[in-house]
Amino acid sequence: MKKTMLKVAALMSLFAAVALTACSKDESAREDESGAKIGAVDGTYTANGVSFDMVGVEGGATTLNGSAVTLTPFAIGKHEVTQGLWESVMAAAAYTDLVRVTAYLDSVMAANPNPAAIDSVTKVAIDSVTKVVACLDSAMRAAAYPGGAGYAPDSTRGKGVSHPVYYVSWSDIVGTSGSVGYTLNGVSYRTDGFCYKLSQLVGGEKRFRLPTEAEWEYAAQGGQQTHSYTYSGSNAIGDVAWYEGNAKDTSHVVGTKLANELGIHDMSGNVWEWCSDRYGSTYPSGASNPTGATSGPQASYRVVRDGGYTTDSLRCRVAYRGSLPPDDRGGAFGFRVLLP
């Protein structure tokens, strides 16, 4: 009985501490706290306990959509940014508390595998901490998604730490209202945007950004190892893509389809991916590291590529181009990051 009461006391102490702090605090107070580990380019990085892989891409001359271009080397995300990575970056404090409390609760439940044998006092304490987990999850999701809790991923479109993030706009990724942290390829990455926050959490003076459209297509083709497939990694769409023909109207865990020639997954299907460029009719022929249009009828729009789980095979082709207003938050639109 004494051990039981000590366990209850520990649970209730945790309940009180978290309920008084994490469920009501302002996320901005701890947004830069991290136990981040610094990885190497073409390696694994960790931000706020969530790891992600970057794949090195050799530069060179290539032809993209009929235009000859030259690209310098870069590293691009092996996978689309996941909901777990997005939430750990955009709601760092609440995410950390949620992981901590959930792990503690799981350990208590593992120590009491038979629910019928748990005494009533311990059960009340466990129920209380379970409510804290729900509170933290709600607070974290509301803080993580700039559109609010109504724009947080849901089970109908695929929800989970390893699913790609969606309901995020180009503006959410680069930031809108914060001060300018750094400017790359003509895009100002602000302190309230995902890329800048990720860079701060990873450390080591890394500056994550969106890929240009040329970088995105080059990586999707397979870079210098390209086999000129119709889709990223294959001429058989079902091998490499979640699309309307097999996705059942929902996103899927990243990396569950075959990778392309460079070991990169989901560059056809799953979710559309934002690029940094303004939309133009094509790439400038002979350009080195092109960064998109500066004027034109759709220059206020930003490029999206890849196709998604709701689209047909045509839109999942490596060569297919699309565009959207930068503030658009769609249920099948995500992204991946790039260095340098």
pLDDT digits over 49-74, tens only?
999 999 999 999 998 888 899 999 99
Bridge partner residues of 188 (DSSP): 183
Strands (E), the chain: 44-47, 50-57, 60-64, 67-71, 74-77, 180-184, 187-190, 272-278, 287-288, 302-305, 322-324, 333-334, 338-339
Secondary structure letter of residue 234 according to DSSP: B
Residues 327 and 271 in one domain: yes
Domain extent for 309? 38-82+162-340
- Compute the distance between CA of residue 292 and CA of residue 311 in angstroms, rounded to an integer: 24
Shared-domain flag, residues 241 and 336? yes
CATH value at residue 73: 3.90.1580.10
Q: Cα–Cα distance between 83 and 291 in angstroms, integer?
A: 28
Q: How confident is the model at residue 11 (pLDDT cuts 50, 70, 90)?
A: very low
Same domain, 303 and 221: yes
How much is the pLDDT for 97? Answer: 86
**Residue 289 pLDDT exceeds 60:** yes
Picking from 12-16, 213-217, 244-248, which range would have the lowest pLDDT averaged per residue?
Answer: 12-16
For the beta sheet containing 44-47, the strands, ordered from the edge strand earlier in sequence to the opposite edge, are: 44-47, 50-57, 74-77, 338-339
Residues 189 and 140 both lie in one domain: no
Instruction: Report how far residue 268's alpha carbon sits from residue 318's, in angstroms, rounded to the nearest whole number.
Output: 7
Q: Are 128 and 120 in contact (CB under 8 A)?
A: no
Same domain, 128 and 266: no
pLDDT in tens, 165-208: 999 999 999 999 999 999 999 999 999 999 999 999 999 889 99
What is the reported pLDDT for 15? 46
pLDDT of 96 reads 86
Q: Which of 154, 170, 192 is the last residue of a domain?
A: 154
Closest C-alpha to 326, from 301, 294, 305: 301
Of the candidate ranges 51-65, 265-279, 292-306, the one whose mean pLDDT is the lowest: 292-306
Average pLDDT, stretch 278-286?
A: 80
Cα(337)–Cα(324) distance, integer angstroms: 18
- On whether both 203 and 183 belong to a single domain, the answer is yes
What pLDDT digit, counting tens, does each position of 90-142 carry? Answer: 998 888 888 888 888 888 888 888 877 788 878 888 888 888 888 888 888 88
Task: Tell me the backbone φ, ψ of residue 95, rounded to 5 degrees.
Answer: -65, -45
Rounded-to-integer distance, Cα 18 and Cα 21, Å: 5
Q: Is the pLDDT of residue 40 over 90?
A: no
Percent of the chain clearing pLDDT 70 (strictly above): 88
Checking if the pLDDT of 338 tops 80, the result is yes
Domain end residue (candidates: 136, 154, 172): 154
Kindly state the tokens that stand for 193: 């945007």
| Residues 126, 179 within the same domain | no
Instruction: Identify the domain boundary among 113, 134, 154.
Output: 154
Mean pLDDT, range 73-81, rounded to an integer:
97
pLDDT given at position 8? 42
- Kindly state the average pLDDT of the residues 1-7: 45
Place 278 in a pLDDT band, splitting at 50, 70 and 90. Answer: very high
